[in-house]
Structure formats: structure tokens, C-alpha cells
Amino acid sequence: MLALLAALPIIIVGVLMIGYMWPASKAMPFGWLSALIIAGIGWGMPVKWLSAATIGGVINALSILLIVFGALLILQLMKKSGGVYGISHSMTSISVDRRVQVIIIAWLMGSFFEGAAGFGTPAAVAAPLLVGMGFPPLIAATSALIADSTAVTFGAVGVPIWGGFAALENLIEFPIQSMGVSIEFSQFLHNIGAFSALLHFLVGSFIPLIIVLLMTRIVDGSFKKGLEVLPLALFGGFIFTICQFSIAYFVGPELPSLLGSLIALPVFILQSQEVFWYRTKSGIFLLMISGMRAGKVKLKLENGM
């Protein structure tokens, strides 16, 4: 019952934003107000605590907004200076296949943005970049958000790990004993990062394939064209998660997403140059924003390289 009561502010915000299509600027104050009422009545928190929690939330929100503002500022500077066009032109020199491009931008570059800045930066940068390159907004948004699911554990130089578990250092007496081994707090965080990276290796490696399949399903109504790049999509997934796990295991939880993407990106680009990975009998898969039929962007194929 208490768990449901604690989740009520989130449910209220979800209903207002999804059910009634309210903007966040209107829905979030209701979530904040409901949280105050529930905390005050349900848990009997004093007014000082409620005020302190509110001030702390505002400060945390400002710090996140500052990071996202920096990312959006860079994106706008890139647009004004022609950087987006330059990236788009460079991408065509790597591959004109939209399936390859979405893996590079959403999966690998998005993971780099997450590892460096976090806090929604991949969606704020990668998605508009994809739109600027000609991707439909729905595909750009879904691809960027799904791709971020693996790198987010080590986002913002490991904040979810060392920041999320920082309070345990004062709640639990370290070192702790596990299987006859004494574990300090730093080693405890290291183990959490390594185990998280292992889970990403087992599951997150398939995210690029899921993104490609979803993209082809949305625009063409079929998974077939997505499966045509199955080897390359799996290669892109595993090359990043292997690097991520290796860095988490041997280095620590701060750099797996940041360095993992930096290592995987050039390797994937070099491998994508190999024609046999994604050349099919029909030719190269191109996303053409040339016609709309039944509300879907049609996919066309052009023969040859």
C-alpha cells in the first residue's frame, strides 16, 4: 500500500501527460504538489523537510538543465555553422544505408553523449541530428531513446553508479565480508559496474538490431529489410558491449560508456565499409522522404554501390 502511495505522484504525472496530453510545464507542478501532500500526510514529514526536499529538487533540476542546455547549444551552433550538413555529408561518405547511419548516430554516438554528459543528452542531440539528416521524427526519437538504454548505466561519467550508491557508504559499515573476502566501498562500486556491464552484454548487444527492425517496420511495414543487416547490427551491438564490459571490469564504472563508444565507433565504421556486410541482391537500402502513403514513409532500393 505504501509503495502504491509513493508511486501516486508519478502516476498522476503520467496520466496528465499521456492521457490528457498536458505539457510537462503544467503536469509536473501537480506531481510536485501531490508528492508534498502524500509525504506530509502519509509519512508525517515536517514542513522543514518538505521545504528542503523542494529546494534540493530545484537545485538538481537546474544542474540537469545546465547540462542539457550545453548540449542543445552545441547542436544549434552546429546547425548555424553548417556542422550538421558536414556530418550528414560525412555520413554519406561512410554509408548511404540509413540502417547503418542510425546505428552510428543513435547507438554509438548516442552512447558517447550519454557517457560524457548523460541526463537526456543523447535524445536532445542525437534525435535532432537524425532529423537534420532526413530521418522522420518518429524514427529519430524512438531510435535515440531505445539506443540510450544500454549506455545510461554509466552515463555522465558513471554518476548512476558512484552517485546513486554514495549514500550506502554512510549506511553500511565498510569493508564488508563476502565469501571470505573483505570488500571496500570502492571495490563494491566496481563490482556493481562490472555486473551491470555483464547484463548489458547479454541483453544490450541486440539493441542495434531492435532499432533497425523497428525502423524498417515503421516505414515499410516489414522486418525483412532490417534482417538484411543482421550481421552488421549484431557486430555494432557486441563491439560496444564488449568494450563496455572490459572497461567496467578492468578500470571502473566511470568510463565504460564514454571510452567504449570511442573505441567501438571507428571499429564499426571501418567494418561497415566492408560491402559484404550490408550489400544485398536488391542493392543498398535507402530511406527516401519522397512520398507518403497511408501515413508511412516508403522505403526504396537503389541497385549497385
* Residue 148 near residue 204 (C-beta atoms within 8 A): no
E strands present in 101-260: 176-178, 181-183
Residue 110 located in a structural domain = yes
Q: Which helix (H) or strand (E) holds 302?
A: strand 296-302
Give a yes or no: residue 23 inside a domain.
Answer: no
pLDDT in the model for residue 297:
35
Q: Which of 257, 264, 300 is nearest to 282 (CA)?
A: 300
Is 151 part of a structural domain of the chain? Answer: yes
d(C-alpha 88, C-alpha 287), whole Å: 14
Residue 70 lies in a domain: no
User: Which pLDDT value is given to residue 274?
Assistant: 58
Within-domain flag for 124: yes
Question: Is 14 contained in some domain?
Answer: no
Task: Look at residue 108 in the predicted model and tell me its pLDDT.
Answer: 95
Q: In which element (H, E) is residue 290 found?
A: strand 284-293
Task: Give the model's pLDDT for residue 37.
Answer: 93
The answer as to whether 280 is a domain residue is no
pLDDT at 86: 81
Spans of the chain, pLDDT less than 50: 275-305
Alpha-carbon span 142 to 154, nearest angstrom: 21
- Quick one: how far is CA 76 from the chain centroid? 20
Q: 9: cis peptide before it, omega within 30°?
A: no
Tens of pLDDT along 202-247?
Answer: 999 999 999 999 999 988 888 999 999 999 999 999 999 999 999 9
Residue 78 forms part of a structural domain: no
Q: What is the DSSP letter of 172?
A: S
What pLDDT score was predicted for residue 296? Answer: 36
Distance CA 272, CA 293 (A): 31
Number of domains in the chain: 1
Domain extent for 249: 91-274
User: What's the predicted TM-score (pTM) here?
Assistant: 0.71
pLDDT score recorded for residue 293: 30
Computed over every residue of the chain, the mean pLDDT equals 83
Distance, in Å, from the CA atom of 71 to the CA atom of 232, rounded to the nearest integer, reads: 29
Instruction: Give me the pLDDT at residue 193, please.
Output: 93
